[in-house]
Chain A
């Protein structure tokens, strides 16, 4: 491992050092490049522990309507993978929390794993989440990621067996990502009763930290799950703010929203 590799891995583990981080997700370049950048900076100001940047894909089959729409809009504005990397690099200059790229496998394959990994590292990315690349299909991508010091964050689902949770926990570098319910991304009203049981099951098996996401959209969700996860990902609820608020207000609203979540996580 090179010096910088070690630093990136540390960065990702460090976010759990003295807090339960709130990790906002925003689709790259949504709703415009400008608002996207401003919103992420606002979210970091508000206390976000790391940031997930969505790499838009034409067929986001793990996503609900809000993130689907955001991907479609971003693609219409030309936010393809090369552009995502450029935006990320720009952002890197202004914020100092770890950046994670989240998206589907095919665009990465077409760029080539090596080339993508190199460019992601150059852009200051710490790790990736690829929802349509479960552990069983990730051999090559994991090897390339390891060479470049990029973290792999795998998903754990409520349907995942105990044996598989252990496998995924080992495969994830830094941390794993628990999806709160079987389903696609999207804001939900209440925390499902099954989510607590699921997270308790993960707690008993996982050795690394794990965050929870999918459906986290209000401070009370975080309060309810506070002692059951090491961090909280908020995606659709934030993307909806960007969809519904006028461009001028969006970063402000996002700031207020993330701050309320960060407080709930304290």
Chain B
């Protein structure tokens, strides 16, 4: 890092696919591994999305909701006291936590619900882990008068109680899922089962860059506004491009959204941070790209946490939004190509980072986003504190207060 201050943008000619192949593939990853019943709906969705995304009216509606209702553009903020403390460089936060509903999830949901409305669907469903995607979906469903059912693992219902209450107040029905590990993976199974059953009447709003094509591509396009904005803000406020970008990776939507605008400038280092849970050696983690193997889950081929015989294993993270055994197929592609480096931080490190950001900057980050902050300590020290490090602060931490307070009591 921290090469010359006057660096040139470097496009090496390597191409990082701007869009997936016709079969919905990023390299060998992605695809449509779903029951036959859903194939026609996915084909229709692909066409609907392509047409909408090419339509100036659709884009205008998407942008105006995100600005007038959602509060975009989100600020780019230089965290000076945090930078001082860490001595890794100038740390610049992209404040997705300041979106309406408290995370980047809103960007994607606005896009997908607009599509649902365009295709005259009266009901939306979603899966949620931390509850942020569920809250965003319930919110936009309320705004458009759609009925909304949210599947949530019953363990997550317990640990993200405030978000359950929010969804219910917003008029959504929260359906606890008791199968498997009772977290995000199981909620996703149940949402897919609902969609298979109600495919004619229902739009499935997926919360990350996962699932069958076109979801990973579509969700990326709806999230890339994070990086598109940040790129301009870096020039305007900092006067140069960042040297490094850091984001947490659950399914990978805030990271892809943040990285995409910068992808072809290979002088910019990119780091994706996965949930290391109790440590990689413990087996209790959710570090899919760091420690997983290639397989198929929830409609696409990607890296997975699984047993030797191909059963999906139960992940662990203190952060409900990262507690998922899969990851978006484009990340799998970016990992193999080496364009993005993926690392993991533990529950402990994330909790420390949560406190650090609170105390130095007066910001309570989501536990997911705290993983990105924690990763900064793994970067080399920067004597001059000169390199520019962009961090995607994907969400705010109100929802995590109980978890954090509990964890701190247990360790002290």
Binding site for B on A (CB under 8 A): 57-64, 68, 72, 75, 80-82, 104-111, 131-134, 136-137, 154-161, 164, 168, 179, 182-184
Contacts and interface: CB of A to CB of B under 8 A. Distances in A.
A197 to B, nearest CB: 14
Interface string B144-175: 00000000000000000000000000000000
A109 B296 contact: yes
A62 B185 contact: no
Given A60-B189, A106-B304, A179-B35, 15 more contacts: A59-B312, A61-B193, A62-B35, A62-B193, A80-B307, A105-B296, A109-B294, A109-B295, A110-B295, A110-B309, A132-B34, A134-B33, A134-B36, A136-B32, A160-B39
A157 B306 contact: no
B312 A58 contact: yes
Contacts of B35: 61-62, 131-132, 134, 155, 157, 179
A106 B310 contact: yes
B311 interface: yes
B23 A61 contact: no
B180 interface: yes
28 contacts: A59-B185, A59-B297, A60-B189, A61-B35, A64-B193, A75-B311, A80-B311, A105-B33, A105-B296, A108-B310, A109-B295, A109-B296, A109-B310, A110-B293, A110-B310, A131-B35, A132-B33, A132-B299, A134-B33, A134-B36, A156-B36, A159-B38, A159-B41, A159-B200, A160-B37, A179-B36, A182-B197, A182-B199
A81 B31 contact: no
Interface residues of B, number: 40
Nearest to B314: A58
Given A59-B180, A137-B31, A106 B39 contact: no
B43 to A, nearest CB: 9
A57 to B, nearest CB: 7
Contacts of B122: none
B192 A107 contact: no
B40 interface: yes
The B interface is mostly helix, strand or loop, or mixed, namely: mixed
Interface of B: 23, 31-41, 179-180, 185-186, 189, 192-193, 196-200, 293-299, 304, 306-313
A62 B189 CA distance: 9
Nearest to A132: B33
Contacts of B298: 59, 61
Given A61-B298, A137-B31, A184-B193, A107 B36 contact: no
Contacts of A72: 179-180
- Nearest first, the 6 closest Cβ-Cβ pairs linking A and B are A110-B310, A107-B310, A157-B37, A183-B197, A155-B36, A58-B311
Nearest to A105: B296
Nearest to B312: A58
B193 A110 contact: no
A158 B309 contact: no
Contacts of A57: 310-311
A149 B317 CA distance: 45
A182 B196 contact: yes
